[in-house]
Amino acid sequence: MKLTVSQQQLAHGLGIVTRAVSPRSTLPVLNNILLATDEGRLRLSATNLELGITKWIGAQIQEEGSITIPARILSDLIGTLPGNNVDLTLNTRTQTLNIHSGTSNFDIKGIDAQEFPPMPVPDLQSSVELNIADFKEMIQQVSFAASTDEARPVLQGVMMEIGSNEITLAATDAFRISVKKASLSSAVAAPVKVIIPARSLSELARIATNGDESISMVVPQGRGQVIFHLKDAEVVSQLIDGKFPDYNAIIPRSYKTSTTITTTEFQKACRQAEIIARESNNVIRMHIQPQEQGPGIVEFSSQSEERGSGEVVVEANIDGPELLIAFNVSFLLNVLDVIATPNTVLETNADNTPGLIRPVSDDSYLHVIMPMHLG
């Protein structure tokens, strides 16, 4: 292998694929990045056997070849080189990669590319086409609600359901549920129902740029994998096996009190109350108070025995009876951060039943949040 590549493009590509490198693997090759010539471009790949990321970058190729190089050494080194071209030359006999740029010259020992796990090649004839901007928004509005508890792997995933011309993503950690629906540009040939690790989708959202035309998604039969193909990148992820909770059974279908608040005011009140609440299990109380004349008010309060207490009052349009209810303020901020509409509505029934949060005039998204004990 002998080629020349832009230092900036190589550093950018390495920054993308290193997210899939296994930091604690007993297989040395999984600590490495695969560099391989591929139809006139340089292909960079990394995998931890659950998540794999491939990035293609332009290169002037003189000789074909491939090698795997320790990820950290390669990334750190390329990042320190001047922003010019980098020459890569492989000595196949010693499996050593020579890296030359300007006055810098390094020889890095690698591992034979044959030892690197093969990355699956998607059959794009059977792909589902997803709009990049829409799908990234779906991921951002849902993935944060997935669990980080390794003891419950199913809840670490996002349920994806595709039927006819609609796609639904749902995630829950048993304390909250996020559900987002969107239309597809064309109907799918067969329905899809899979659980994808939330981390894999978050990496996809990070990699995908709105400059890409679309994402092609392929779920190969019987492989337990999903592949997302972009113009110059691919993400392959293992699927999570198991039964996802019936989240529809938990979503409230009616409410007694509906509270509509300006989204920015809702966020501001939560951020202020959080300063005290974070010292006391993140609990904030919302005292929803309709008024006989004019708009109602919501009093956000938090209290800590060691730090003190605080209240923030916000005007709101309230339909229904007065209610005092407590929530995890971090959970409230998580959902408010992904709502883009000017106003947000909170629908509640009692202080011990879930609340439903949704953007006003956007029926495609909803978030269910369990209340906390008032104490």
pLDDT given for residue 250 in this prediction: 92
Is there a single domain that holds both residue 81 and residue 135? no
Is there a single domain that holds both residue 55 and residue 69? yes
Alpha-carbon 156 to chain mean position: 12
Structural domain contains residue 359: yes
Q: What is the mean pLDDT of each run of 10 residues along the chain (375 residues)?
A: 96 96 88 96 97 97 97 96 92 97 95 95 87 93 96 96 93 97 87 96 90 84 93 96 95 96 98 93 96 93 90 96 97 97 98 97 96 88
- Can you tell me the distance from the alpha carbon of 202 to that of 116, in angstroms, rounded to the nearest whole number? 24
Is there a single domain that holds both residue 217 and residue 298? no
pLDDT given for residue 126 in this prediction: 83
Structural domain contains residue 233: yes
CATH number for the domain spanning 201: value is 3.10.150.10
pLDDT given for residue 211 in this prediction: 64
Task: Identify the domain containing residue 351 by its residue range.
Answer: 251-369
Of 115, 150, 168, the residue that ends a domain is 115
Of 223, 248, 273, the residue that ends a domain is 248
Express the helix, strand and coil content of the chain in percent, nearest 5 each.
25, 45, 35
pLDDT given for residue 212 in this prediction: 60
Q: Is the dihedral of CA 358, 268, 146, 174 positive or negative?
A: negative
pLDDT given for residue 294 in this prediction: 85
Q: Provide the domain count of the chain.
A: 3
Of 68, 97, 115, the residue that ends a domain is 115
Structural domain contains residue 84: yes
Q: Residue 278: is it exposed, middle or buried by C-beta count within 10 angstroms (0-12/13-18/19+)?
A: middle
Residue 22 main-chain phi, psi, to 5 deg: -85, 115
